[in-house]
Amino acid sequence: MPTAFIKPGRSKSLERRHPWVFSGAVARIEGAPAPGDTVKILSEKGKFLAQGAFSPSSQILLRVWTFDEGEEIDAAFFRRRLEEAFSLRRQLFPEKSEKSALRLVNAEADGLPGVVIDRYGEILVCQFSSAGGERWRGEIVRQLRELTGAPTVYERSDLEVRSKEGLPQRCGLLWGAEPPDLVEISEYGCRFLVDIRRGHKTGFYLDQRENRRLAGEFAVAAQVLNCFSYSGGFAVPALKGGAENVVNIDASADALELARRNILRNDLDDQRVTHLCGDVFALLRRFRDERRCFDLIILDPPKFAYNKSQVTAATRGYKDINMLGMQLLEPGGILCTFSCSGLISEDLFQKVLFGASVDVGRDVRILERLAQGTDHPVLLTFPEAAYLKGFIYQVE
């Protein structure tokens, strides 16, 4: 097996079971591994550290499959990892219905870096984001067929990050029947149509499941402003929870059209919903100038910070929309705010909200601290995976 030697003094993170090795930590590689091949990772002095997949064009040169020297990286390895991941999900979702949607495999957190597998009812959707995941793609699909009997396994590897791995973006059928244009899923009694081929991520923001339900509980008789609505993930539980009316804002007309269909699908009155296609930042300003008021506001923006150099601009963006949101709330109103930028910690996000509340001159009290759902677990050794954070707060 090809072998990578870690530079002196650079093995600590592997010894602490962090699953990434950056190219700068590697002294030399013996053998000629191809992209995705398994490489034995040793300290400079030859002590075994891990086995990982080789990504020659990425700054993350190696991603660890196992810290066990005796574990072979073969079909049986992937079967074991998939079985473990599925067994956790069975524990987490014992009452799973035919229409449940959940993340079955969450990459590093399930011991499979570069591999994400989501389930939409019977249909599985995979994302392979690294050379290692790509190398074992066929095997993983084979195991998925055997373990789940899914009628369709679809690929959504249309990910920007694949270019860093020297891989092209790719979408399409991996196995079985073509998926329908829209797949219906059920989430705490809400029905959603999901566009597996063209929807964001693998089709739906599964990470917000619990938060959507919770937000719905604050919607009784409320005038709701749902910013960055996508396909109505927060609008449907809000209406079901008794919202008087909902304004959905999204920059995508297709997303809003799907939101409209989702509202009808749940037999909710679409007369109570306004869809605005446009920029949230501009529309919030317009609403403020018009002195509009709401009882419940949801701010679930896309990722603002993709790298460290964008963190400052991102915090300004979060502060901006939260200030506007605070100004648009009735006294005692509720705001559900989120950040899915992994580089913005919960602590920093809270400080941004503090800054916003000071500038707006309104007292804010945190009611709930939110994170991604349990099907998106986080390894203590890999805290980077905890990307989603949110607060439900009340403005005096």
Chain residues that interact with ligand SAH, rule: CB under 6 A: 205, 208, 212, 228-231, 233-234, 249-252, 255, 279-281, 300, 302
CB of 9 to ligand SAH, least distance (A): 42
Report the relative pairing of strands 364-371 and 389-395 from DSSP bridges: antiparallel
d(CA 264, CA 234): 14
Nearer to ligand SAH, 174 or 280 (CB): 280
Task: Collapse the DSSP code of 87 into the 3-class scheme (helix H, G, I; strand E, B; otherwise coil) and give the result.
Answer: helix
Sign of CA dihedral 376, 255, 123, 202: negative
Residues 284, 324: contact at Cβ < 8 Å? yes
What number of CA atoms fall less than 13 Å from residue 158's CA on the CB side?
15
Nearer to ligand SAH, 115 or 280 (CB): 280
Q: CA angle, corner 64, sides to 60 and 67, nearest 5? A: 145
CB of 208 to ligand SAH, least distance (A): 4
Nearer to ligand SAH, 136 or 318 (CB): 318
CB of 214 to ligand SAH, least distance (A): 12
Nearer to ligand SAH, 81 or 212 (CB): 212
Burial bucket for residue 46 (CB in 10 Å: 0-12, 13-18, 19+): exposed
CB of 120 to ligand SAH, least distance (A): 14
Nearer to ligand SAH, 118 or 300 (CB): 300
Exactly one of 126, 190, 227, 340 is catalytic; name it.
340
d(CA 305, CA 110): 25
Residues 381, 396: contact at Cβ < 8 Å? no
CB of 160 to ligand SAH, least distance (A): 15
Residue closest to ligand SAH (Cβ): 233
- Please state the separation of Cα 290 from the chain's center in Å: 35
Burial bucket for residue 59 (CB in 10 Å: 0-12, 13-18, 19+): exposed
Nearer to ligand SAH, 166 or 278 (CB): 278
CB of 281 to ligand SAH, least distance (A): 6
Tokens of 382: 């890999």
Tokens of 53: 């997949």
User: Active site includes 126?
Assistant: no
CB of 312 to ligand SAH, least distance (A): 18
d(CA 60, CA 297): 39
How many CB atoms within 10 Å of residue 302? 10
**Local structure of residue 214 (DSSP, 8 states):** H
DSSP string, 172-189: EEEEESPPPSSEEEEETT
Nearer to ligand SAH, 142 or 303 (CB): 303
Residues 26, 5: contact at Cβ < 8 Å? yes
d(CA 104, CA 99): 14
Catalytic residues: 340
